[in-house]
Amino acid sequence: MSKRHFIELADMIRENREHFNQEAIDALAKWLKGQNPAFMPGRWFDYIDGKCGPNGGAIKSKGRDYIAA
């Protein structure tokens, strides 16, 4: 599986969070790690929880964060 697949799966979990308990998400993360050793479960959990963007970085703001001079 590729990074794109991991992001799509996380998006599906985020959109349907009420159907997934933490035990199921943990088991899925363990399986994903077996599919791709480069998989980073902590970053994936943070994205599902809305703590970071899909690449692990800051969440992009909807508007400008500064005032142009």
CA distances from 12 to 3, 9, 65, 68 (A): 14, 5, 29, 37
Confidence bin at 15 (pLDDT 50/70/90): very high
| Cβ pair 10, 47 in contact under 8 A | yes
In the numeric block, which tokens belong to residue 12? 């599906």
Give 23-60 pLDDT, tens digit per residue. Answer: 999 999 999 999 999 999 999 999 999 999 888 887 76
Give 28-38 pLDDT, tens digit per residue. Answer: 999 999 999 99
CA distance 55 to 52: 8
